[in-house]
Amino acid sequence: MKKLSHYDSAGAPRMVDVSAKPETRRMARAQAFVRIRPSVLKQLPKNPKGNPLEIARIAGITAAKKTSDLIPLCHPLPLSYADVEVTVEKRGVRIVATAATAAQTGVEMEALTAAAVAALTVYDMTKALDKSIEIHDIYLLEKTGGKSGAYKRA
Protein backbone atom coordinates (compact mmCIF):
# COMPACT_ATOMS: atom_id res chain seq x y z
CA MET A 1 0.00 0.00 0.00
CA LYS A 2 1.27 3.48 -0.91
CA LYS A 3 1.84 5.89 1.94
CA LEU A 4 1.19 9.62 1.94
CA SER A 5 4.44 11.52 1.39
CA HIS A 6 3.54 14.62 3.44
CA TYR A 7 3.65 12.73 6.75
CA ASP A 8 6.67 11.41 8.66
CA SER A 9 6.80 7.99 10.37
CA ALA A 10 5.12 9.44 13.48
CA GLY A 11 2.28 10.92 11.43
CA ALA A 12 3.37 14.55 11.70
CA PRO A 13 2.99 16.73 8.58
CA ARG A 14 6.23 17.59 6.77
CA MET A 15 7.51 19.12 3.58
CA VAL A 16 8.78 16.39 1.26
CA ASP A 17 12.54 16.49 0.63
CA VAL A 18 12.94 16.53 -3.16
CA SER A 19 16.62 17.48 -3.19
CA ALA A 20 17.76 14.05 -4.43
CA LYS A 21 15.23 13.92 -7.27
CA PRO A 22 16.34 14.78 -10.80
CA GLU A 23 15.02 17.91 -12.43
CA THR A 24 12.62 17.03 -15.25
CA ARG A 25 10.20 18.95 -17.43
CA ARG A 26 6.78 18.83 -15.87
CA MET A 27 3.38 20.03 -17.03
CA ALA A 28 -0.09 19.88 -15.51
CA ARG A 29 -3.54 20.95 -16.68
CA ALA A 30 -6.56 21.33 -14.40
CA GLN A 31 -10.10 22.54 -14.85
CA ALA A 32 -12.98 24.13 -12.97
CA PHE A 33 -16.53 24.86 -14.05
CA VAL A 34 -18.58 27.84 -12.88
CA ARG A 35 -22.30 27.20 -13.32
CA ILE A 36 -24.07 30.44 -14.18
CA ARG A 37 -27.67 31.03 -15.29
CA PRO A 38 -28.00 31.82 -19.03
CA SER A 39 -29.49 35.25 -18.29
CA VAL A 40 -26.38 36.15 -16.28
CA LEU A 41 -24.05 34.71 -18.93
CA LYS A 42 -25.57 37.12 -21.47
CA GLN A 43 -24.68 40.05 -19.21
CA LEU A 44 -20.97 39.17 -18.86
CA PRO A 45 -19.78 41.52 -21.61
CA LYS A 46 -21.66 44.42 -19.95
CA ASN A 47 -20.22 43.88 -16.46
CA PRO A 48 -19.50 47.33 -14.93
CA LYS A 49 -16.51 45.92 -12.99
CA GLY A 50 -14.74 45.00 -16.24
CA ASN A 51 -14.44 41.83 -18.30
CA PRO A 52 -14.77 39.10 -15.64
CA LEU A 53 -13.33 36.42 -17.91
CA GLU A 54 -10.11 38.32 -18.62
CA ILE A 55 -9.72 39.31 -14.98
CA ALA A 56 -10.26 35.66 -13.96
CA ARG A 57 -7.59 34.57 -16.45
CA ILE A 58 -5.03 36.98 -14.96
CA ALA A 59 -6.04 36.02 -11.40
CA GLY A 60 -5.49 32.34 -12.22
CA ILE A 61 -2.02 32.97 -13.65
CA THR A 62 -1.10 35.02 -10.58
CA ALA A 63 -2.42 32.27 -8.28
CA ALA A 64 -0.30 29.63 -10.03
CA LYS A 65 2.78 31.72 -9.26
CA LYS A 66 1.77 32.07 -5.59
CA THR A 67 0.69 28.48 -4.87
CA SER A 68 3.41 27.79 -2.31
CA ASP A 69 2.25 30.87 -0.36
CA LEU A 70 -1.28 29.41 -0.18
CA ILE A 71 -0.68 25.67 0.31
CA PRO A 72 1.54 25.24 3.41
CA LEU A 73 3.68 22.23 2.37
CA CYS A 74 3.87 23.04 -1.35
CA HIS A 75 7.34 23.68 -2.78
CA PRO A 76 7.97 27.08 -4.37
CA LEU A 77 8.56 26.41 -8.07
CA PRO A 78 10.07 28.49 -10.85
CA LEU A 79 7.24 28.29 -13.36
CA SER A 80 8.35 28.47 -16.95
CA TYR A 81 4.74 28.74 -18.14
CA ALA A 82 1.29 29.43 -16.71
CA ASP A 83 -1.89 30.08 -18.64
CA VAL A 84 -5.62 30.01 -18.06
CA GLU A 85 -8.25 29.56 -20.77
CA VAL A 86 -11.76 30.77 -19.94
CA THR A 87 -14.57 29.63 -22.22
CA VAL A 88 -18.26 30.50 -22.05
CA GLU A 89 -20.51 27.45 -22.51
CA LYS A 90 -24.28 27.02 -22.48
CA ARG A 91 -24.49 26.40 -18.70
CA GLY A 92 -21.55 28.46 -17.47
CA VAL A 93 -17.84 29.11 -17.74
CA ARG A 94 -15.19 26.41 -18.18
CA ILE A 95 -11.70 27.21 -16.93
CA VAL A 96 -8.64 25.22 -18.01
CA ALA A 97 -5.34 26.11 -16.35
CA THR A 98 -1.90 24.95 -17.44
CA ALA A 99 1.39 25.18 -15.56
CA ALA A 100 4.86 23.99 -16.60
CA THR A 101 8.34 23.94 -15.12
CA ALA A 102 11.64 22.09 -15.13
CA ALA A 103 11.95 21.10 -11.48
CA GLN A 104 12.26 18.28 -8.96
CA THR A 105 8.54 18.17 -8.17
CA GLY A 106 5.32 18.49 -10.12
CA VAL A 107 3.05 21.41 -10.92
CA GLU A 108 -0.34 19.81 -10.30
CA MET A 109 -1.04 22.10 -7.35
CA GLU A 110 -0.16 25.17 -9.42
CA ALA A 111 -2.62 24.18 -12.16
CA LEU A 112 -5.35 23.30 -9.65
CA THR A 113 -4.82 26.54 -7.71
CA ALA A 114 -4.97 28.56 -10.92
CA ALA A 115 -8.26 26.91 -11.95
CA ALA A 116 -9.80 27.37 -8.49
CA VAL A 117 -8.80 31.03 -8.12
CA ALA A 118 -9.96 31.84 -11.65
CA ALA A 119 -13.33 30.26 -10.80
CA LEU A 120 -13.54 32.25 -7.56
CA THR A 121 -12.76 35.41 -9.51
CA VAL A 122 -15.59 34.75 -11.96
CA TYR A 123 -17.87 34.41 -8.94
CA ASP A 124 -16.54 37.62 -7.38
CA MET A 125 -16.96 39.56 -10.61
CA THR A 126 -20.55 38.34 -11.19
CA LYS A 127 -22.02 37.88 -7.69
CA ALA A 128 -23.89 41.19 -7.96
CA LEU A 129 -25.94 39.63 -10.78
CA ASP A 130 -26.58 36.26 -9.09
CA LYS A 131 -25.58 34.90 -5.68
CA SER A 132 -26.54 31.33 -6.69
CA ILE A 133 -23.53 30.86 -8.99
CA GLU A 134 -21.84 27.52 -8.25
CA ILE A 135 -18.27 26.32 -8.68
CA HIS A 136 -17.98 22.66 -9.71
CA ASP A 137 -15.59 20.04 -10.96
CA ILE A 138 -12.15 21.26 -9.94
CA TYR A 139 -9.83 18.45 -10.94
CA LEU A 140 -6.59 17.47 -12.64
CA LEU A 141 -6.96 16.80 -16.37
CA GLU A 142 -3.42 15.62 -17.06
CA LYS A 143 0.18 15.77 -15.93
CA THR A 144 3.53 14.81 -17.40
CA GLY A 145 7.03 14.34 -16.02
CA GLY A 146 8.45 12.99 -12.80
CA LYS A 147 8.82 9.53 -11.36
CA SER A 148 5.13 8.67 -11.60
CA GLY A 149 5.07 9.56 -15.31
CA ALA A 150 2.13 10.77 -17.32
CA TYR A 151 -1.50 10.86 -16.18
CA LYS A 152 -4.52 11.72 -18.30
CA ARG A 153 -8.04 11.77 -16.90
CA ALA A 154 -10.28 9.29 -18.67
pLDDT digit of tens for each residue in the chain (154 aa)? Answer: 566 676 677 777 777 778 778 889 999 999 999 999 999 898 887 777 678 999 999 999 999 999 999 999 899 999 999 999 999 999 999 999 999 999 989 899 999 999 999 999 999 998 988 999 999 999 999 999 988 889 999 9
Task: For each of the domains in the chain, give its residue range(s) and CATH number, in order of start.
Answer: 24-144 (3.30.70.640)
Q: Tell me, what's the pLDDT at 1?
A: 54
pTM, two decimal places: 0.90
Q: How many CA atoms lie within 13 A of 148 on its CB side?
A: 14
- Separation CA 6–CA 34 (nearest Å): 30
* Catalytic positions, written as ranges: 124
**Rounded Cα distance, 149 and 22, in Å:** 13
Assess contact for 133 and 36: CB atoms under 8 A: yes
Give the phi and the psi of residue 106 in degrees, each rounded to 5.
Answer: -80, 170
Note the pLDDT of residue 26.
96
- C-beta separation of 153 from 140 below 8 A: yes
CA distances, 29 to each of 63, 83, 112, 113 (Å): 14, 9, 8, 11
Give residue 78's identity as a one-letter amino acid code: P
According to DSSP, the residues that pair with 86 across neighbouring strands are 95
